[in-house]
């Protein structure tokens, strides 16, 4: 039992450390580099297994023992605060990017060595050990959400270090006292970190919050809050007519305006550029998705909206605004303002209400979504299906308004054409650009899509009376190239897309990468190059080297080669199915981190149960069942999820568990069943395959996003299912 508890604690710590570190990385460097943590985790676990394999071959006279496993668990625990200290001591600068890649690799590498030794010494009970492994990981995925909410990012990592200290105490009596003492020290450091400030990471130089605070010496952080999907800092003294500026993950920001609560004092905001669309629906009912500091809510109230429904994903945002109380006009406590805690797309798909104005003003932030792999800003707010949901929830005279930058115009127009067709989109879509006096201050863009065609009188008023805006696309009046030919029916959507140097076509739920506009992959070339040079190429190189030299002497080639394919396919297939399943269910549950918790907990817990009974099911059969179940879900979920959105949250969670659990149960069988056949004949010992599986998880996570960007998540999930078919085909040769 102590052995299983030790494995449980190591993997629980691994998930807490992994996801907690993604939050810290998102708050200190670019949001899209948060995936580095997860990739380094997968790579570190795998390299730990390969290192144990090499130790066995290089020093055969120094046998592996549980004392050594406990020692590596202690080193893993100590490496976590060591990694955190590096991040505190060396705030991010672009030249330090390799350091931020390597720092988390060391703890995961040591943790991988500890686990590999345990699995190697106790391969006969690999199924029950894998059960403890997956159960620990599943509870870690839930625990980290609570820790981030209650203790913050840095303290969560210190708690993660306490768990492997306890694990070392379970694995070996020799280090029991040291392990328990270390766990107490780590827990005490976590509890007191808020007051001592011993571990406190600060944003990197590339972050807007740090730059703007350095430019204004009087600025100060008034309060900071963490949860599982963002860190929010309220900065006062930043300049301008603001009570405070709220920074989401130190970069995207929204402002809290001073207000007495009297509507007649909002005349400047009523006459501002962002309030122009409310002239089309006076005295209407308004929906604001992503209200942030409240500027759009104030604009709606100032313009005469009878009611404002504000849908906010992040409870911290509302909490921070309410903190300013009467100084901010108690904006989120007013009777005409309703606060709904939900993801905007999920809310609009479930409600039966209709609105005169649906307003999205710079809704997205640059916070990471800790998705279990690479996540490049998937966004379900700007897909064609989202436009359909907004359009269907407008009154007959209603208007959808999106406030963003002019770079968004091509895709917003494409979505409108995909939704309504060229003729109707040309009558209903308007694009205006803000007039700015300074060329250095980029103008904002207002996109409007009305439920009915705009009348000539309305378009004339926009051109002549809306003096704060420059008309860019106005029905029946003007549209610059290439929009004139597209909206005029002179060119097709395919030709419009082909002629553009960027990816400008409509975006759909199956590949919701609205911001992926760089050809050919959607992501900027430097990111694609870094993915290949720093993750994909090294992982494939390691795979080739260890596959070439890992075969025991004298063993037959066919079983060994088949085993390589078997475990590689499992590593790739598992992460591909997991990532695709996460995306399919995010829309259903309405909250990416809540979805992640439900998915990982259910998938890993069910997988743990499957591993415990894996000896009763042939690996070939288990792999084929995974492939069939996964393929059915890949084909069915895109059609099923929209039909289930009206259900209450409890019902949607129950359906998600029903979808995940059978798949997770069977996915937990092939890996431990395969490990039981290793370590004899032509097959190396379990640590080798542990490492192989980890490396292929990295390859799979990166490849899955490339597939999703180009072909969609449905295709990515089917690729994962194909990997399980491949594993089934070679299982008899590999595991005989």
Dump pLDDT digits (tens) for 561-602: 999 999 999 999 998 998 889 888 888 887 666 787 788 889
Query: Residue 199 corresponds to which tokens in the numbers above?
Result: 């571990």
CB atoms within 10 A of CB 575: 27
Whose CA is closest to 203, among 211, 194, 195, 191?
A: 211
C-alpha angle 160-611-117 in degrees, rounded to nearest 5: 55
- Please report, in angstroms and rounded to a whole number, the separation of the first and last CA atoms in the chain: 30
What pLDDT score was predicted for residue 371? 29
Q: What is the pLDDT of residue 705?
A: 80
In 3D, which of 196, 130, 132, 209 has the Cα closest to residue 158? 196
What is the distance of C-alpha 716 from the center of its chain? Answer: 17
Q: How buried is 234 (Cβ within 10 angstroms: 0-12 exposed, 13-18 middle, 19+ buried)?
A: buried
Helices (runs of H) and strands (runs of E) counted in the chain: 28, 12
User: What are the structure tokens assigned to 37, written together?
Assistant: 């943590």
Contact between 449 and 416 under an 8 Å Cβ cutoff? The reply is yes
Q: Is 224 exposed, middle or buried (0-12, 13-18, 19+ CB in 10 A)?
A: middle
Tens digits of residue pLDDT in 2-16: 899 999 999 999 999
Cα distances from 468 to residues 274, 276, 304, 446, in angstroms, run 10, 9, 19, 12
In eight-state DSSP terms, residue 478 is: B
Q: What are phi and psi of 252, to 5 degrees?
A: -65, 140
Question: Could you give the CA distance from residue 359 to residue 102 in angstroms, rounded to a whole number?
Answer: 43
Between CA 677 and CA 569 the distance in angstroms is 17
Using CA atoms of 436, 441, 442, 447 in order, give the dihedral in degrees to the nearest 10: -50
DSSP letter string over 312-381?
Answer: ES-HHHHHHHHHTGGGBTTGGG-TTEEEEES-HHHHHHH----EEEEEEES---------SS------TT
Q: Which residues does 328 contact at the CB level (< 8 Å), separation at least 6?
A: 243, 256, 257, 258, 259, 294, 321
- Take residue 71 and report the two structure tokens written for it: 């020692």
What the block records as the tokens of 608 is 């743990």
Q: What are phi and psi of 229, to 5 degrees?
A: -130, 10
CA distance 87 to 626: 40
Segment (H or E) for 298? helix 295-302
- Distance, CA of 400 to chain centre: 27
At which residue do the structure tokens 């990694």 appear?
A: 83
| Strand 429-434 relative to strand 355-361, pairing | unpaired
> Residue 684 gets which letter from DSSP?
P
At a CB cut-off of 8 Å and minimum separation 6, what does 153 contact?
20, 23, 24, 27, 201, 226, 231
Could you tell me which residues come within 8 angstroms of residue 549 by beta carbon, excluding any fewer than 6 positions away? none
Long-range CB pairs of 144-148 (<8 Å, 24+ gap) are 144/15, 144/16, 144/19, 144/20, 144/228, 145/227, 145/228, 145/593, 145/597, 147/16, 147/20, 148/20, 148/23, 148/226, 148/227, 148/228
Distance, CA of 718 to CA of 706 (rounded, Å)? 14
Interhelix angle for 35-58 vs 2-28, to 10°? Answer: 140
CA torsion, ordered 430, 433, 434, 435, to nearest 10 deg: -130
Query: At 289, which helix (H) or strand (E)?
Result: strand 285-289
Residue 64: what pLDDT? 84
Nearest C-alpha neighbor of 224 from the set 312, 137, 323: 323
Residue 130 in tokens: 């894998």
Give the domains, in start order, of the chain with CATH numbers.
Answer: 1-203 (1.20.1250), 277-307+334-499 (3.40.50.150), 512-736 (no CATH)
Cα(523)–Cα(376) distance, rounded to whole angstroms? 8
Cis peptide before 503 (omega within 30 of 0): no
Q: How far apart are CA 14 and CA 655, in angstroms?
A: 28
Beta bridge partners of 236: 220
The ranges of the chain with pLDDT < 70 are 30-36, 60-61, 364-378, 437-440, 524, 527, 591-593, 736
CB 255 within 8 A of CB 295: yes
């Amino acid at each position: 039992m102590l052995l299983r508890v030790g494995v449980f604690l190591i993997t629980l710590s691994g998930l807490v450390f992994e996801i907690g570190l993604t939050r810290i990385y998102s708050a200190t460097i670019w949001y899209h580099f948060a995936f580095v943590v997860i990739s380094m985790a997968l790579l570190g676990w795998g390299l730990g297994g390969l290192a144990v394999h090499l130790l066995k071959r290089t020093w055969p006279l120094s046998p592996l023992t549980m004392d050594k496993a406990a020692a590596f668990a202690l080193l893993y625990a100590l490496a976590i605060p060591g990694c955190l200290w590096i991040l505190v001591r060396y705030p991010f600068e672009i030249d330090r990017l390799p350091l931020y890649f390597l720092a988390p690799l060391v703890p995961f590498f040591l943790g991988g060595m500890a686990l590999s030794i345990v699995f190697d010494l106790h391969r006969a009970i690999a199924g029950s050990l894998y059960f403890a492994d997956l159960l620990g990981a599943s509870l870690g995925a839930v625990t980290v959400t609570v820790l981030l909410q209650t203790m913050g990012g840095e303290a969560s990592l210190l708690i993660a270090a306490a768990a492997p200290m306890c694990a070392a105490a379970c694995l070996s009596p020799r280090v029991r006292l040291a392990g328990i003492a270390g766990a107490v020290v780590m827990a005490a450091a976590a509890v007191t970190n808020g007051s001592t400030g011993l571990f406190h990471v600060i944003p990197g130089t590339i972050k807007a919050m740090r730059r703007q605070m350095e430019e204004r010496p009087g600025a100060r952080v008034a309060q900071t809050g963490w949860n599982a999907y963002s860190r929010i800092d309220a900065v006062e003294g930043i300049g301008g007519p603001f009570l405070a500026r709220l920074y989401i993950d130190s970069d995207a920001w929204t402002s809290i305006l001073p207000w007495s609560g009297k509507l007649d004092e909002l005349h400047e905001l009523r006459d501002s550029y962002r309030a122009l669309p409310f002239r089309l629906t006076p005295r209407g009912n308004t929906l604001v998705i992503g209200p942030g500091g409240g500027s759009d809510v104030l604009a709606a109230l100032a313009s005469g909206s009878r009611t404002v429904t504000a849908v906010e994903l992040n409870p911290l945002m509302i909490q921070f605004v309410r903190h300013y109380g009467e100084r901010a006009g108690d904006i989120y406590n007013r009777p005409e303002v309703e606060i709904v805690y939900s993801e905007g797309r999920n809310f609009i798909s479930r409600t039966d209400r209709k609105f005169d104005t649906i307003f999205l003003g710079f809704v997205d932030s640059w916070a990471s979504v800790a998705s279990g792999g690479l996540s490049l800003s998937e966004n379900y707010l700007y897909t064609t299906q989202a436009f359909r949901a907004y359009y269907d929830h407008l009154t007959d005279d209603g208007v959808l308004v999106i406030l963003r930058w002019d770079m968004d115009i091509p895709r917003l127009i494409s979505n409108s054409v995909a939704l309504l067709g060229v003729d109707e989109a040309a009558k209903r879509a308007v694009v205006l650009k803000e007039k700015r006096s300074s060329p250095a201050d980029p103008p904002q863009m207002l996109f409007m899509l009305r439920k009915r065609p705009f009348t000539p009188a309305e378009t004339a008023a926009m051109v002549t009376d809306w003096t704060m805006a420059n008309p860019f696309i106005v029905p029946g009046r003007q549209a610059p190239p290439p929009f004139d030919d597209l909206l005029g029916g002179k060119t097709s959507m395919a030709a419009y897309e082909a002629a553009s140097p960027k990816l400008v076509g409509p975006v759909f739920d199956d590949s919701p990468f609205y911001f992926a506009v760089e050809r050919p992959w959607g992501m900027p070339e430097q990111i694609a190059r870094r993915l290949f040079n720093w993750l994909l190429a090294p992982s494939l190189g390691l795979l080739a080297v260890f596959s070439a030299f890992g075969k025991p002497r004298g063993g037959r080639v066919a079983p060994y080669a088949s085993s390589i394919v078997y475990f590689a396919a499992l590593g790739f297939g598992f992460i591909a199915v997991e990532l695709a399943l996460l995306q399919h269910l995010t829309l259903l549950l309405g909250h990416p981190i809540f979805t992640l918790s439900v998915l990982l907990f259910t998938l890993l817990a069910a997988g743990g149960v499957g591993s415990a009974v894996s000896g009763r099911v042939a690996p070939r059969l288990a792999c084929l069942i995974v492939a069939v179940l996964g393929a059915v879900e890949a084909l069915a979920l895109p059609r099923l999820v929209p039909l289930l959105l009206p259900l209450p949250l409890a019902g949607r969670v129950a359906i998600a568990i029903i979808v995940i659990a059978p798949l997770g149960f069977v996915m937990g069988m092939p890996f431990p069943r395969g490990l039981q056949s290793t370590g004899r004949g032509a097959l190396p010992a379990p640590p080798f395959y542990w490492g192989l599986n980890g490396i292929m998880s990295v390859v799979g996570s990166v490849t899955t996003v490339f597939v999703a960007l180009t072909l969609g998540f449905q295709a990515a999930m089917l690729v994962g299912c194909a990997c399980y078919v491949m594993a089934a085909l070679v299982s008899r040769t590999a595991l005989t």
